[in-house]
Amino acid sequence: MQSGNLHLQSPQFAFAMRAKVVSGMGSVRICFVLALVMLVAIAVPARGAVMSIDLGSEWVKVAVVNLKAGQSPIAIAINEMSKRKSPALVAFSNGERLLAEEAAGIVARYPERVYSGVREMLAKPKQAVQEQLEANHLPYNVVADSRGRASIRIHDGSASYSSEDFVAMLLTYARHLAEAHSKAVVKDAVILVPPYFGQAERQSLLDSAQIAGISVLSLVNEHSGAALQYGIDKDFTDGSRDVVFYDMGANSVYAAVVHFSAYPGKDRGKNVTFQQFQVSANNKGRDA
């Protein structure tokens, strides 16, 4: 969904309109994660509860929608520390794999055993990842796999993992959070991606999801989710509007220009007005 129109008043958005109420004073990113997972869960047939995963370069956030009777329909899945976001970290220590909060617990003592920023390594060649890690002063041992892409040999030299493997570990952790919340097996997911991800990065992310046993219903650009959250309860019948969205993340800053408008149409034979938005431009730069 890099560009194109999206209707804000079609039937599948009935539940998405409640996202702002549920999120309370939470972050906008968590709020539109909820909106997106509800949108796709209703629009696309799924096998039960559906999760959405916001996998950033620093944090992971998970939301769950479950439309079964007796279940909370929408919620943010909290981690083992009762937090709504978890560090996007993978660590290996004493023959064990540690994820998220557990990995963060050893980063001060054993920084060489803790791996971060793995999303940004997807589909990148060894040299590019090596330069990226050196710029961030990360002491990882980068090697090339059979495709020429970067893999990381862990601190004790016992194994090497590709970026897809690392991301799959984090996605598996996210799935476990969703399953602990919903008390059911969760296989279907909506995953947010940065707008600067190309086809290679998106395919690598899909490969990671497959390794994690996750069926991806949709990859949705982050700025499209922000635009949905902004416009879901607004009326643009009096005139269109152009809005600039900024996302200042851990590794990058990007802006998107979104055009909101309305047009008349028919729904079940009745004259109605549909709200829509179109992402017309986006630009990315590195954080200072």
* pLDDT given for residue 281 in this prediction: 63
Successive 10-residue mean pLDDT values, the chain, 288 residues: 42 32 38 52 61 91 79 83 95 94 95 93 94 87 92 92 97 95 89 90 97 93 82 86 83 84 87 84 56
**E strand or H helix that includes residue 41:** helix 28-43
Asked whether residue 131 is domain-assigned, the answer is yes
Rounded to a whole number of angstroms, the distance between the first and last alpha carbons of the chain is 28
* pLDDT given for residue 16 in this prediction: 32
Could you list the beta-strand ranges (E) of the chain: 5-7, 50-55, 59-65, 74-76, 86-87, 90-93, 96-99, 114-115, 141-144, 150-153, 160-162, 188-193, 215-221, 241-248, 252-267, 270-286
Reduced to 3 states (helix: H, G, I; strand: E, B; else coil), residue 116 is coil
Asked whether residue 41 is domain-assigned, the answer is no
Task: Match 């439309």 to its residue by tokens.
Answer: 67
Asked whether residue 119 is domain-assigned, the answer is yes
**Nearest-angstrom CA–CA distance, 108 and 222:** 31
Indicate the angle between helix axes 222-231 and 28-43, nearest 10 degrees. 90
* pLDDT given for residue 203 in this prediction: 97
**Nearest-angstrom CA–CA distance, 151 and 129:** 9
Asked whether residue 111 is domain-assigned, the answer is yes
Structure tokens at 133: 């890690």
Asked whether residue 177 is domain-assigned, the answer is no
pTM for this prediction: 0.80
Could you list the beta-strand ranges (E) of 107-149: 114-115, 141-144
Asked whether residue 19 is domain-assigned, the answer is no
Asked whether residue 113 is domain-assigned, the answer is yes
Burial of 244 (0-12, 13-18, 19+ CB in 10 A): exposed
Query: Of 102, 152, 155, 93, which Cα lies nearest the Cα of 122?
Result: 152
Which domain covers residue 121, as residue numbers?
Answer: 87-164
- Residue 127's CATH number: 3.30.30.30
Asked whether 55 and 167 are in contact (CB, 8 A), the reply is yes
DSSP calls for 258-286: EEEEEEEEEETTEEEEEEEEEEEEEEEEE
Q: Considering its fold, how many domains does the chain have in total? A: 1
Buried residues in 103-119 as b, exposed as e (16+ CB within 10 A): bbebbeeeeebbbbbbb
Asked whether residue 127 is domain-assigned, the answer is yes
